[in-house]
Amino acid sequence: MLRLMLKFLVFSIVIFSGAIVLLQGAKKASLDPEIATVYEEALPLPKFTLIDQKGLGFHSNERLLGHFSLMFFGFTHCPDICPFTLQKLVTVTSSLESQGADLPEVLFVSVDSNRDTPERIDSYLDNFSPKFVGLTGNPGALQVLLSKLGLTTQIHQHPGQQDYTVIHNSTVFVIAPKGELIATFSGLDNTAVNATTIAEDFLRIRKRYLAHPPRLAT
């Protein structure tokens, strides 16, 4: 009888332990994004000051704090990547809003300060969302941010024309409420990348961050 009770106890412990492992695995899976890349360590961003589309100063040590942001680099003369990505972000934020979620601030940072004045960016973003924030400014101030993110840009002059394009990265960066980089999205200009999946991934990233804030990279 005692042996039978011991076997039953051991069996119960094994079942209970297995259930805990399954629950922990399910909880972890629920926090894992499908297409986004999440950093194990958060990357602190340098302080920078740019100008928004209303001509006001955008100071990162103030404006990036207290909320999540989605930061994308581009330029208003961009023929495809920028409009496709911005339109995808419109759909993403609409999806989040329909779910009653707190919206991230979408930041469109120009890599073409020579042509992208605040007024031009303001007019350009009107084609997408009045809630999006456009930024431009001194190339030196922008370079501080680009260097930290490991990004480069390149001017490509069209042969026989005064017009030019700017080769740039299409990554969307997820900035957490303390002004640190915690994740990235790639290929939003690709029609195969679904806006609903992006929105769900953002919610997972947000939940994961709030539950287990990552340590800062040194």
Strand partners, 49: 59
Question: In the predicted model, is pLDDT for residue 197 greater than 90?
Answer: yes
- Which structure tokens are listed for 144? 């501080």
pLDDT tens per residue across span 169-178 = 999 999 999 9
pLDDT tens per residue across span 76-127 = 999 999 999 999 999 999 999 999 999 999 999 999 999 999 999 999 999 9
Q: How far is CA 121 from the centre of its chain?
A: 20
pLDDT tens per residue across span 13-65 = 444 444 433 334 444 445 689 999 999 999 999 999 999 999 999 999 999 99
Q: Collect all residues with Cβ–Cβ distance below 8 Å to 129 and sequence separation of at least 6.
A: 89, 90, 93, 106
- Which structure tokens are listed for 203? 């919610």
Question: In the predicted model, is pLDDT for residue 205 greater than 90?
Answer: yes
The residue among 2 and 161 whose pLDDT is bigger is: 161
From 156, 136, 140, select the one nearest 54 (Cα to Cα): 136
Q: What percentage of residues in the chain have a pLDDT greater than 90?
A: 77
Question: In the predicted model, is pLDDT for residue 151 greater than 80?
Answer: yes
pLDDT of residue 176: 98
| Domain residue spans of the chain | 1-31, 35-211
Q: Are strands 37-44 and 133-136 parallel, antiparallel or unpaired?
A: unpaired
Q: Collect all residues with Cβ–Cβ distance below 8 Å to 53 and sequence separation of at least 6.
A: 118, 119, 121, 122, 125, 133, 134, 135, 136
Count other Cβ atoms within 10 Å, centred on residue 121: 25
Q: Look-up: residue for tokens 């919610």?
A: 203
Q: What is the pTM of this model?
A: 0.85
The verdict on domain 35-211 having CATH code 3.30.530.20 is no
From 91, 90, 157, select the one nearest 129 (Cα to Cα): 90
Overall average pLDDT of the 195-211 stretch:
96
Q: What is the DSSP letter of 132?
A: -
Measured between alpha carbons, how far is 47 from 179 in angstroms, rounded to an integer? 9
Q: Are strands 154-157 and 164-167 parallel, antiparallel or unpaired?
A: antiparallel
pLDDT of residue 123: 98
Contact 49, 57 (CB under 8 A): yes
pLDDT of residue 159: 79
pLDDT of residue 180: 97
pLDDT of residue 185: 97
> DSSP per residue over 39-64, as a string?
EEEEEEPPP-EEEETTS-EEEHHHHT
pLDDT of residue 177: 97
In what side-by-side order are the strands of the sheet with 105-110?
37-44, 180-185, 172-175, 69-74, 105-110, 133-136, 49-52, 57-59
pLDDT of residue 27: 43
